[in-house]
Each structure stands twice: as structure tokens, then as C-alpha cells.
Structure 1
Amino acid sequence: MPVTTLIRRVLNRSNTLADSDDVARAQLDGASASPMPAAAAAFGSADQDAGMATTARFVSSFPNNSGIYEEPLTSGGGDFADALSMDSGSGKMPVVEDEEKDAVEDLAMLEGQVAEQEQIAQDHGQPPRNAGFMRSFSSVVCIIIGTGCLQIPYAFAKTGWIGVIIVVISAFIGGYTGVLTIRCLYYQEGRRLHSFPQIGRAAFGRYGQYATQFFNYLYSLGTTCLYIILAGQFIYQLVSTLGVMVSKKVWMILVALIIWIPVAILKQMSEAAIMAIFGLLASIIVIAVATTMSIAQPYTKMHPTEPAPGTDVAIAIGIPVALSSIVFSYSGSVVYPHVEASMKKPKQWPNVVYTAMGFCAAAYLLIGVSGYWAYGTAVVSPVLDSIPAGAPATIAKIMITLHVIIAAPIMLLTFFLEVELQWRINAERLGKRREFTVRLVYRSVVVALVCAVSLAIPYFADFLSLISSIACVTMYAILPVVCYLKLYGHKIAPWYEKIWMGVVLVIGIVASIWGSVDAIKSLIRDTKAGAPA
């Protein structure tokens, strides 16, 4: 029978029994309630009249309580466990009449149907909600902190010490727009969107979806290209010192093959949790090594006969360009919907994203301030090329290479999950064997294309600036604010928040336009100068 009919049947029985079972309640002396009244109370709190008693309603802190996520209760816990629990005083089940036994059987049937519905949802590509705070935090930080930290000192060389303020402001913007992104997923009561493209469609129709998909996919695939370029560059530098003369492009192809392995195996974002934790630890090691070596071996110690490169308080002309690079260091918006979808307690999302941004800001200030102080205007991107060669630099390059290889599949998974959801590539429609084959083939083709683009544009700094200016800034600062205002209306926010939204939009637009122009000029100049070794 339908689930809603089953619920009403259980509720009607429990209410009738509650009115006629005074003797049974007297025997229990109020020590424990009859299981069916307890179940009725639990169901009643979840919208009994609307037939929504099988869902646990998560009401976030969204404006007007309009963001509601409805999730089936899992068997063996929550209200079901309370309703069917044993009497704590006697250690025995309460006396149950025949009709109550029927109702308990109905509840057991209901639990089975809920479990079946959850399995169907997973077959459709919706991950189970089993990620705790630390796992979600690790996934966000692993994507955010990555290679972006390596160019923070270079960004300071473009802006001067005012870059410290930009790093802090960018962290606040990243946390705020991260919260707005998830609010947009819940704009419609009783329904959750799954991805950024769906937010774009809900806000601006079909063309909004296409535009959002363009920036979303450009960010996901472009960042993966950056990872392949950087990993190939570091491996080339490491093995060259050992006398292994293999082209950098060969190492980039090898990196792409290594990335392909988890891409072919992993199906859901939750399966990459362990990888995210290892990636986070690798990033912490890299930041610690770079910071320590910058302080211990500054430019004056490495080149005692040369004058120390200077530092500036502020360089106005370099702020827009450096801003786009700093923004890239906080970008992770495309991953947020998938991370939040796997959270056990989605109401904790604001805490997760703000904690992640605070952690990244502290790390960036460490590596940025120490690197700029040590090498001034002579610092290069990535900063590991500025510190002296030796065991610490080698360890840092190995760690960042491992991080890149770990983070790239997570970044690609966001792209793959959205494509598979849109094209219904799931076991229910195709069958398990055919679904695996289709998924493996098209994912392999995508990795091959990403590798080909990486081989064609092996200029890390220029490519980083271009991707961050076009895609990252748009996804990070512009689209979340614009879509939020379109979905909720401008009246939803107080005047001071509207001012903050305006500041975020201005920063995003300036950084995107100015940064894109500068990155294209640098890319053209370096291409004409010839391919690197």
C-alpha cells in the first residue's frame, strides 16, 4: 500500500488505542508510554496531516525558514527506535494488544519501505548522508587549499603588504558565498537541488543553466589541467637531479594515468573521504616546510653578495590581477553541493565552510607573509621554486605532488556526478554492468582530453591566472549572489547585507575582467617566447 496510507492507518490505530487503553496506562504507572502513542507523537511532529511523517525535516537558518531538506528516517534509529524501545524499568517489552501488534508490524513494513526508497535514491546517484563534520571539513579544505597556497607569496609581490587584507576579506567572501550556494539549493520548500547548473536553471531558466554549466565545467576541468601541469613540473624537477632525463610532458601523461585510476573506481563523493584527509595532511606539510624554509633561508642568506629585494606597502596596479589569484586559492564552490549532500547533519554546513575558510586563511597568511618577507619582489610562483634546494624542498614537492594526485579525482568527481545525474547514467536505468561500462568509457575519454589540454598549455602561472579570472571568480563571488537574489528576491536581505552583496559583486567583476586581460597577455607572451623545457 502507499506509504502515506500506511502512516495514516498506524496513526488512527494509535489514537484509538490511546483513548480506550486507560487500564493499560494505569498498569504502567506512567513510567513508560505505550509504543503507539509515542509513535503517533513522533509522526505528528513531522506533518501528520500532509502525510510527511516518514521524513525528518531539516530547517536550516535560511531566511524565513524557506530552506527545507527532507530526508527519510533510517531504520533502527530516531523515532522508530524510541517507539519500539524496551521498557527501561523491567527490561521487557510493554504489554501489546493484538491491534497494537498489527501496528508494530505496519511500522516494520514502513521501515522496510523507507530503506528501499533510500536505496533507490542511491541508485539514482544521490549519496548516503553519512559524512561527519571532520570528513566534510577535510573535503572542502582539500579542494580549497591545494596548489593555490603556492602562489600567495607571488600575489603579495604584486600587491604589496595590502595583500594580507585581501586574503582576509577573500576568506569572508568565500564563507558567505558558500552559505548562499547551499541556500539556493533549498530555495523551494520540500525539495533540494543537486548542483550549480540546477541553481542556474531555477534562477534564470535554460540559458542560466547553460551559462552556469560553462563556468562550472571550466573550473572543474581547468583546475584539473592545472594539477596535471604542476605535478608534471615537480616530478620533472625531482628526477632531473637524479640524472633521469625524461621530458616534462611524459611525466604529465604519467600523472594523468595515475589520476585516471581512482576516477575509474570511485563512484560517489563520500568514497573519496579518506583521500581528502590524506590530501589535507599533505597540504599542511607543504605549508609548514615552505614557511619554515622561507624564515630560515631568506634571500639575503642565499645570496649574501646581492642586495635584498624590496617589499611594498601597496601596489595599486597589481591588486586586480593578484586578487584573481587569491580568489582562486579559496575557490571550491563546485564541490560544495556534493559535500553538503553527503553530510549527516546538513545544518552544520555554515560551520563547516566558515571553519574551512578560517583554516585556509591562517595557512595562506603563514606562507604568504613568510615568503614575501624572505624573497620580496624576487619571489616566484610556485613559491617552492624560491626556497633553496635540498631535502625540505624535495619533501614539499613530493607532498604537493601527492596532494595534486589526490585532489584531481575529487575535482573531476564533481563534474562526473553532475553529468551522470543529468544523463541518468545509473544502475537502475542501464543495469549494473552496462552502467559501469558507460561510466568507465566516458570518464576515461574526459581524462584523456584534460591531459591533452594540459600538454598544449604547460604554463602554470599564466594558466592559473586565466582559469581563476574567468571561472573561479565567477563561481566564487558572482553567481552565488546573483542567483540568490533572483531566487529569494532582494527583500529577503537587510540593507547592510545588500551593501555587502554589492561589495562582493564589485570585487568579483573587477577581478574577473582585469585578471582575464592580464592572464591572456601573459599567456600570449610566454607562448611566443617558446615552450618550456
Structure 2
Amino acid sequence: MPAARFVRRMLGRGSGGANDGSLDIPAPAAGAAPPAAGAAASSVYEAPADFTDASSLDSGGKEPIGEAVAFGEKEAVRAAVSQGTALEEEAQQGDQGAAEADGVRSPVQPRNAGFLRSFSNVVCIIIGTGCLQIPYAFAKTGWIGIIILFLSAFIGSYTGVLAIRCLYYQGPMGQRLHSFPQIGRAAFGRVGQYVTQFFNYTYTLGATCLYIILSGQFIYDMLSTLGVGVPQKVWMIIVTVVMWIPVALLKEMSEAAIMAIFGLLASIAVILICTVMSVVKPYTVMYPNSPAPDHHAALGAGIPIALSSIVFSFAGTVVYPHVEESMRKPKQWPMVVYAAMGFCAVFYLMIGVSGYWAYGDLVVSPVLDSIPRGAPATVGKILITVHVIIASPILLLSLFLDIEKQWRITAERLGKKREFLVRLVYRTAIVAAVCGVSLAIPYFSDFLGLISSISCVTMYAMVPIICYLKLFGHRIAPWYEKIWMVVVLAISSVACVWGSIDSIKNLIKDVQGSK
């Protein structure tokens, strides 16, 4: 029996034949980079059956393996299928095999996260401060914002799956990539790596700046009413110091699991508070003698900037490689990302519809400033501040893991004491720089629009699709999927350019108005 037929019978058809929610990794396109050099036969990366398409076991998708497949190799495939995926072991083999050629052992994240922990990590990053912008986005677009919301969720789910496929583009005999910059380099060389790094780091650091601005603003608003005269910028510095503690101590994504769950619960509570207060105390009840706010079915002029804001509310793509890398059963990744997007979409719909219905075109961002002052608003601000302090270390950790893998900041290479010192110093320097930028641009709404327009939209939708097509070739996707990709790229481009222009104009007005 030819080897290709044997493998297909053992693994089943990976593209459309299995309905277990696993990722289907197609064969690399012609001209794609070969497996990592120096990986000996005893330590090659064997992609788990859960991520393998039968066609990817052909050489470059062209020539079958033929009878050159040894009996022992067939037995290894059979064992992988029968026993499930031992991805932690396999990922370590791939990383170590490539690194041993340079005499350095790459850091490998332990795969011990289950579905709930992975789901919590993703949702904690996705759901948060962005939810406070949803009613304001609806005010920019009208009720058509509901369609934009679900469209953004679907795009995020699709590109989240594509992004992880790109990590395994080398197929069963190659090394798994670790981050978006590595995907960019595999697809477009050093230029692709640097461009991807720019957007990746801009989003991560920009979102952290946004968290610091928002939490400092909330603490100042709450305590100033009690007579505490501490300036908002001082609170922003204090928040940064509190966030720095877990940033300095956490080393792996799996260590942030408990923080992610608490952050998730805090965000859900904030959304419920805003939803209930919007229904109970709409604008017409708060101000019975004032004209009712306006509501619109659709406002075309505000769609681009609103789209970029809604996309920010679903963004978390830069963290996905590290979350998937920590999963005990990586075949569950599609279920994790689709469940997380669906979960967030439902709660965003609640706060968006209720907030826009209650306050119409007079709603402000964040929406907590629209609901009546009192205990509910105060509790909501406290909870969102807690979430921000929890989510920021998780977001920054994805950046730090990229840096530490790229520069090989490991205990094996530097020693435990030196590795800890290097990690502490450079992480502290980055956090301090982020704090400095936050102090210079304390404008929440427009800063959010700028960050999401420039980097968030790019990393959320454009980079996964472009790199996927480059790594696997356009022939891998059916015609209707190609049309969908073109539509997503067109929408993303418009949102990126138009949203950036509007955000920059608004920021200029903010700066001029504050003088």
C-alpha cells in the first residue's frame, strides 16, 4: 500500500472529514521554507495528529512519501493516533532539535493548561476595557453596529484559527513557531519579521497604556469625590507600580491562570452593572426635562472608526500563540477561540444595546460615565480597575515571552540568577516607558481609536490572512474562502486608514483644547 494512502487511512481526511474541532493544517506551498536545518531524525518535530492534514505528509504537497517511509515511522504515526497527542513532548523535541544546532536549548512552555484555563486567558484579554466603548461605537454607527459587532467576532474567530495554523506551516517534520514575528519572518523574511514586530509591539504596549490611563482616571474620579486631592497622573503611576509586581514575577503564561479567571469575573460583573443601570436609569429618567437623545438605524460616516473600536474589543490575537502553546490538548484551540468570541459577543451585545438605547447619541466613552453616579458606578469602576491590573501583566507577558525566546534569555544559557536579573531589568524598563507614554497622552477614547486603527486591526485581521496565503499558497483555500479573505482585507484596510485619520484629528483637538 502506498505510504500516502496508509497515512490517510490512519489519520482520516483532515480537511472537512473530521468534525472533532481540530485544526486542519494544509501542506506548505511550493517554495515555502523547509524544516529547520540541523534537526536530526531522532529529534525531529512530529506534529500531532490533531493538527495534521493527510496531504501535509506528502513532500511539499507534490510527491508522495512512497515506500521510503520506514516501518518504525509508520508505527510512530499509529501510536500518535491511538494514544492522542503528546504535544508537550513533541514541541520540546522540535524546539530542542532546532536549538541544539546552535548549542542552545530554547525555552519551552509547559503544556498543562486545560480548556477552561485557556478559555479564561483568551476571554480575560478580549473582554475588558473595550466593552466600555461598545455603546459609544453604536452611537457612531446607529443600530447597524449590531451587525458590525457580530461580523467582528466572526472575523476574529476565523483569523484566530489561521494564526495558529501558521505556527505549524512546516508540517509534521518541522519546528513549531512561537509568535507572530516568527510567522512574519517565515512568510516574508526579515522585513516581514520587523513589520509584524512593529504592529505586534505597538498593539501590546498601546493597549497597556490605555489600561493605565483608564484605571488612573477611574481611581481619580472615585476618590476625588471623597476629598482625596491626589492628581490623576499620580494614580496612574501607582497603578503602574502595582501592575509591575506580577510582570516582574510571572515567567510563563500558565502561571497567569488564576489572575485570568478573576479578571474574567470582574469584567462580567461590570457589564451586568452597566446593562442593569442603563435599563433602570436611562437618559429620559435621569433628565426628564431634557429632550430625549437621538437614535439612528445607520450612520455611514462613523462606521470606520466604530469598526476599529469594536475590533479592539475583540482583539487578543497577539496572545493566541502563547495560550495555544500552553494547552494540554491543542486540538481544542478552535473550540477555545470560537467559544471565547461567542461569549464576548453576547455580553457586548448586552452592554451595547442597553447603553445605546438608554443614552442614544449622548452616550460617552467609557459608558460608566453615562450611568448615574452612585454605588453601582463606583463598584463598576473598582472592578474594571481590578481587571485592568490583572489583564495588563497577561498582555505584557506575551510580549516578554517573544523577546526572551528571540534573545534566548534562559536559565540554561545565563544561569538562574543572571537570567532573573536580566529579565527583571528589561521588563522594568519597558513598564516604565509605557507609564511615561500614558502620562503624556491621557485621552482614553481617541487614544483607543488610534491604537486599534493602526495596530489592532492589522494584527487582528490582516497579518494572519496575508501570512497564511504566503505560507500555504492561495491554492489551499476554496474560491468562496478566497472571496471572504478579500472582503476581510478590504474592510480592515478601510477601518485602519480611515480610523487612524479620524483618531489623529481628534487627538490633535484634545491636545489643543487642553492648552
Equivalent residues of 1:177, 1:481 under 8 A apart:
yes
Q: CA deviation at 1:59?
A: 3.5
Task: Provide structure 1 residue ranges, at least 5 long, that are not aligned to the other structure.
Answer: 1-48, 68-77, 84-109
Q: Percent identity?
A: 68
**Map 1:509-520 → 2, pairs under 5 A:** 509-520=493-504
Residue aligning to 1:11: none
Q: Alignment partner of 2:188: what SS?
A: helix
Structure 1 residues 454 and 61, CA gap change in structure 2 (3 angstroms): same
- For residues 296 and 63 of structure 1, what CA distance do their matches in structure 2 show? 56
1:427 is the counterpart of 2:418: no
Cα deviation, residue 350, structure 1? 0.6
Matched, 1:172 2:154: yes
In 1: Cα distance, 2:461 partner to 2:228 partner = 44
Distance in 2 (alpha carbons) for counterparts of 1:398 and 1:391? 10
Aligned pairs for 1:348-497 within 5 A: 348-497=332-481
Partner amino acid, structure 2, of 1:136? S
Query: What letter matches 2:213 in structure 1?
Result: I
Match of 1:312 among 291, 296, 319: 296
Which deviations, in whole Å up to 9, do the C-alpha atoms of 1:193-215 show, x marking residues without a partner? Answer: 00000000000010000000000
Letter in 2 for 1:336: Y
Q: Deviations over 1:209-265 (max 9, x none)?
A: 000000000000000000000000000011111110110000000000000000010
Task: Name the residue aligned to 1:144.
Answer: 126
Q: Is the 8 A contact 1:311 1:376 kept in 2?
A: yes
User: SS of 1:129's equivalent?
Assistant: coil
For 1:192, the equivalent position in structure 2 comes to 176
Check if 1:60 corresponds to 2:51.
yes
- Structure 2 distance, partners of 1:478, 1:251, is 36
Q: Identify the range of structure 1 (496-505 vs 52-61) with the bigger mean alpha-carbon deviation.
A: 52-61
- Indicate how the Cα distance of structure 1 residues 53 and 511 shifts in structure 2: closer, same or farther if over 3 A, else same: closer
CA deviation vs aligned residue, 1:346-392 (integer Å, no higher than 9, x gap): 11111100110000110110000000000000000000000001111
Distance apart, 1:54 and its partner CA: 10
Matched, 1:160 2:151: no
Letter in 2 for 1:222: G
- Which runs of structure 2 are paired with 1:320-335 in the superposition (5 Å)? 320-335=304-319
Q: Measured at CA, do residues 512 and 61 of structure 1 come closer, stay the same or move farther in structure 2, by a change above 3 Å?
A: farther
TM-score (norm 2): 0.82
Q: Distance in 2 between matches of 1:271 and 1:409?
A: 11
Matched to 1:469, the amino acid is S
What is the alpha-carbon distance in structure 2 between the residues aligned to residue 63 and residue 384 of structure 1?
52
Rounded to whole Å, the distance in 2 between the matches of 1:477 and 1:62 is 24
- Counterpart of 2:23 in structure 1 is none
In the TM superposition, 1:44-83 aligns within 5 A as 57-60=48-51, 64-65=55-56
| TM-score relative to the length of structure 1 | 0.80
Q: How many Å separate the matches in 1 of 2:57 and 2:275?
A: 45
Cα distance change of structure 1 residues 401 and 66 upon mapping to structure 2, 3 Å threshold: farther
Partner residue, 2:323: 339
Match of 2:268 in 1: 284
1:79 positional shift? 7.3
CA distance in 2, matches of 1:447, 1:137: 26
Assess, with a 3 A threshold, how the Cα gap between structure 1 residues 362 and 54 changes in structure 2: closer, same or farther: closer
Whether the aligned pair in 2 keeps the contact of 1:321 and 1:518 (CA below 8 Å) is: yes
Answer whether contact 2:45 2:176 (CA < 8 A) is retained.
no
1-structure distance, mates of 2:227, 2:374: 16
Shift of 1:429: 0.8
Distance 1:428 1:442, change over 3 A: same
User: Distance between the aligned counterparts of 1:234 and 1:66, measured in 2?
Assistant: 55
Aligned-pair CA distance for 1:123: 7.1
Aligned 8 A contact 1:220 1:411 in 2: yes
Q: 1:296 aligns with which of 261, 280, 292?
A: 280
Question: C-alpha separation between the residues in 2 aligned to 1:126 and 1:322?
Answer: 39
Counterpart secondary structure, 2:48: strand
Q: Which residue of 2 aligns with 1:182?
A: 164
8 Å CA contact 2:278, 2:371 repeated in 1: yes
Whether the 8 Å contact between 1:63 and 1:492 is mirrored in structure 2 is no
Aligned AA (1:205): G
Give the Cα–Cα distance (whole angstroms) in 1 for the partners of residues 466 and 96 of structure 2: 35
Structure 2: give runs of 5+ residues left out of the alignment.
1-39, 59-77, 84-88
- The residue identity in structure 2 corresponding to 1:284 is I
CA deviation digits over 1:135-156, x for unaligned, max 9? Answer: 0000000001110000000000
Runs of 4+ in 1 over 4 A off after TM superposition: 49-56, 120-123
1:65 Cα shift? 4.4
